[in-house]
């Protein structure tokens, strides 16, 4: 049977992803098991879409290929919204919890890379592939995986880019599926309850799409400014020979922008920011999962699956016993565990999606929805970049 390559352009891929996300929302709403395990709708829909794509590739002569340029841009938009949510004037509200989670997060970065390198050596892979299946892919996500995978590929490490992207995508799946049950287990084991009434706050999910054109355009302007300046900075830094993920300068610019506006007493529409954050996040996750090349990775994923299994166990145990204790052993801590587990396996997008799913069911957690974005925007990726460089120096 002659294989026919069919390329789905970015517009049609967007339309398909919207329908797949809608199906995921319906399935999650009507299937009790998915609700009980707190599986994000984007993960449900994305895995279903990925299964359909794999079936088409197996049982027909068609081979579907997606234009991922829009997905990659959605990731940049998402990180700009994470930066715009990192307002220094709210740091006191996170207080001791934020500092504690930062501390355990830095420890886990070293643990995850050490475990990845050790297991890679045990299964016969070069240590550098263990680092790829460490914080590069799991904490850094697709942006960091592409950056380092491409660099190492150019340095002669054949298959580094494919391996890192496979790790990032599989981590996204596992992080999306695992985090909800961990949080649910903690909530039921310790009989935890949300201490906040369901009321509109600056950090909660809006009940309707904001309709104010001025507020929407103001947010679009801030996102566009963060993207424009951040991409320019990335080009300059890249010319200096410094390797950074493309989203990191964008996020830093967004942090500077929102805190400058706070100093000037310029107010923004928090609901609009949440809207852009949610839309870019959910569509990015659906597109990433639909592009999960199950067939091609099954032939090369043996060592990766072993590393992923050990990393998953380490992340689950660390979150359940260490993060929950450090974050205060209350309801907010259980939601933080969902966000932390998602972040260290599937990067910030998965962590945010997990927390939103948990809070929609069990009640709001303003502290968790403050701590995790601040952790991701101000600390996680910057610390990860430093730790990666340190491990690369030690391994050479």
Q: Are 257 and 225 in contact (CB under 8 A)?
A: yes
- Mean per-residue pLDDT for 81-90? 77
pLDDT band for 395, please (50, 70, 90 cuts).
low
30 Cβ contact list (under 8 Å, min separation 6): none
- Is residue 378 predicted with pLDDT exceeding 90? no
Determine the pLDDT at residue 222. 92
How many domains would you assign to the chain? 1
41: containing domain: 4-395
Q: Are 373 and 335 in contact (CB under 8 A)?
A: no
- Is residue 70 predicted with pLDDT exceeding 80? yes
Determine the pLDDT at residue 207. 38
Q: Are 125 and 301 in contact (CB under 8 A)?
A: no
Determine the pLDDT at residue 206. 38
Among residues 176, 184, 171, 180, the alpha carbon closest in space to that of 312 is found at 171
- Mean per-residue pLDDT for 100-105? 93
- Mean per-residue pLDDT for 274-290? 87
SS3 at position 107 = helix
Higher pLDDT, 65 or 316: 316
Total residues belonging to the chain: 396
Determine the pLDDT at residue 198. 42
Q: Cα–Cα distance between 259 and 268 in angstroms, integer?
A: 11
Please tell me the least confidently modeled range out of 108-117, 169-178, 289-298, 332-341: 289-298
Q: pTM for the whole thing?
A: 0.77
SS3 at position 322 = helix
- Is residue 89 predicted with pLDDT exceeding 90? no
Higher pLDDT, 181 or 393: 181
Q: Tell me phi and psi for residue 265, to 5 degrees.
A: 60, 40
**Average pLDDT across the chain, whole number:** 85
- Is residue 210 predicted with pLDDT exceeding 70? no
Higher pLDDT, 387 or 218: 387
- Is residue 350 predicted with pLDDT exceeding 80? yes
Determine the pLDDT at residue 119. 95
- Is residue 86 predicted with pLDDT exceeding 80? no
Among residues 46, 54, 55, 52, the alpha carbon closest in space to that of 20 is found at 46
Determine the pLDDT at residue 93. 61
SS3 at position 390 = helix
Higher pLDDT, 239 or 311: 311
First to last CA, the chain: 47
Number of Cβ atoms within 10 Å of the Cβ of 273? 21
Kindly report, residue by residue over 43-60, the tens digit of the pLDDT: 899 889 988 988 888 888
Kindly report, residue by residue over 225-267, the tens digit of the pLDDT: 999 999 999 999 888 887 777 888 898 899 899 889 888 888 7
Kindly report, residue by residue over 106-147, the tens digit of the pLDDT: 999 999 999 999 999 999 889 999 999 999 999 988 778 888
């Amino acid at each position: 049977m002659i294989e026919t390559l069919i390329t789905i352009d970015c517009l049609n891929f967007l339309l398909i992803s919207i329908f797949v996300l809608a199906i995921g929302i319906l399935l999650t709403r009507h299937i009790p098991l998915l609700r009980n395990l707190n599986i994000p709708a984007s993960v449900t829909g994305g895995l279903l879409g990925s299964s359909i794509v794999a079936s088409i590739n197996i049982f027909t002569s068609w081979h579907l290929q997606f234009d991922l340029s829009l997905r990659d841009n959605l990731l940049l938009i998402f990180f700009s919204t994470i930066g715009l949510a990192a307002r220094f004037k709210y740091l006191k509200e996170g207080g001791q919890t934020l500092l504690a989670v930062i501390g355990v997060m830095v420890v886990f970065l070293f643990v995850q890379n050490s475990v990845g390198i050790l297991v890679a050596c045990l299964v016969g892979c070069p240590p550098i592939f263990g680092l790829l299946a460490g914080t590069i892919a799991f904490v850094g996500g697709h942006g960091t995986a592409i950056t380092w995978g491409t660099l190492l590929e150019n340095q002669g490490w054949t298959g580094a880019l494919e391996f890192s992207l496979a790790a990032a995508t599989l981590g996204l799946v596992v992080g999306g599926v695992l985090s909800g049950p961990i949080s649910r287990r903690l909530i039921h084991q310790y009989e935890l309850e949300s201490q906040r009434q369901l009321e509109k706050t600056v950090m909660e999910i809006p009940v309707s799409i904001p309709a104010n054109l001025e507020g929407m355009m103001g947010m679009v302007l801030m996102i566009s400014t963060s993207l424009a300046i951040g991409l320019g900075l990335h080009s300059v830094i890249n010319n200096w020979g410094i390797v950074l993920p493309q989203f990191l300068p964008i996020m830093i610019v967004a942090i500077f922008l929102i805190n400058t506006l706070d100093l000037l007493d310029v107010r923004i529409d928090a609901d609009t920011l949440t809207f852009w954050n949610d839309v870019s996040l959910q569509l990015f996750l659906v597109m990433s999962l639909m592009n999960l090349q199950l067939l091609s990775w099954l032939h090369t994923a043996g060592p990766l699956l072993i590393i992923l299994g050990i990393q998953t166990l380490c992340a689950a145990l660390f979150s359940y016993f260490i993060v929950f204790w450090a974050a205060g052993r209350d309801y907010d801590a259980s939601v933080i565990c969902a966000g932390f587990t998602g972040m260290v396996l599937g990067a910030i997008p998965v962590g945010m999606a997990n927390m939103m799913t948990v809070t929609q069911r069990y009640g709001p957690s303003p502290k968790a929805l403050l701590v995790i974005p601040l952790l991701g925007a101000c600390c996680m990726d910057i610390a990860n970049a430093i730790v990666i460089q340190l491990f690369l120096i030690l391994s050479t």
